[in-house]
Amino acid sequence: MKYELPQLSYAYNALEPYIDAQTMKIHHGKHHQAYIDKLNAVLEKYPALADRKLEELIKELPSLEMEEGDKAALKNNGGGHLNHSFFWAVMGSEKQIDEMLLEEIKKTFGSTEEFKKVFTGSSINHFASGWTWLARNETNALEVYSLPNHDSPLSKGHRPIIVVDLWEHAYYLKYQNRRAEYIENWWNVLKLL
Ligand code: MN3
């Protein structure tokens, strides 16, 4: 199966002024597309994996029979595809508050504000490229952490709940080096909270 760029459920300018249309256009149309192209290229060499779910391939990566270079390509580009698809889906111009998640966040972190502080702190302190996640761990509890490159909580057996892209291509046009300002604004387009 060839992977294709998922359509966004909103226009490139829908997240303005917090995320600008130009950034969205390049991020979705160029960066995400490039990960998909490279993902398709590496999977073409392994017909036996063609029918497997990408989530499973990422989770089982260490045990897959692939050349190491191809494994790295699958991790980076498969992760790139999954992470971006997930990132687009948690954002929107209209809030769709998940009340149950909100309650659980309050129980786990004390308050929504405290959760945002923890999540923002993790994203600001993360060195170089990566993603900050709210994920459900193996005991079903909520955890906040950042992972490098295009690594995914799926590799740890965790389930992603919320994610923000920390790669400079996600914010550099509008915010340049000001990652903290990007994250602060990004909360406005996270539709779940
Ligand atoms: Mn990105």
Per-residue pLDDT tens digits for 144-161: 999 999 999 999 999 999
Is pTM beyond 0.95 here? yes
- Please give the distance, rounded to the nearest whole angstrom, from the Cα atom of residue 142 to the centre of ligand 1: 24
Q: How much distance in Å is there from the Cα of 101 to the middle of ligand 1? A: 25
Distance 113 CA to ligand 1 centre (A): 26
Q: Give 128 Cα–ligand 1 centroid separation in angstroms.
A: 13
Ligand 1 midpoint to CA 183 (Å): 14
Q: Tally helices (H) and strands (E) across the chain.
A: 9, 3
Residue 60's closest CA among 48, 70, 68, 52? 52
Q: Which helix (H) or strand (E) holds 162?
A: strand 159-165
| In 27-163, alpha helices (H) | 33-43, 54-59, 68-73, 79-90, 99-109, 112-125
Q: What does the buried/exposed string (b/e) look like for 56-83 if buried means 16 or more CB atoms within 10 Å of the residue's CB?
A: ebbbebeebebeeeebebbbbbbbbbbb
Question: For the segment 32-78, what is each residue's pLDDT rounded down to a tens digit?
Answer: 999 999 999 999 999 999 899 999 999 999 999 999 999 999 999 99
Q: Is 170 in a helix, a strand, or coil? A: helix
Please tell me the distance from the alpha carbon of residue 55 to that of residue 62, in angstroms, as a whole number: 13
Distance 47 CA to ligand 1 centre (A): 28
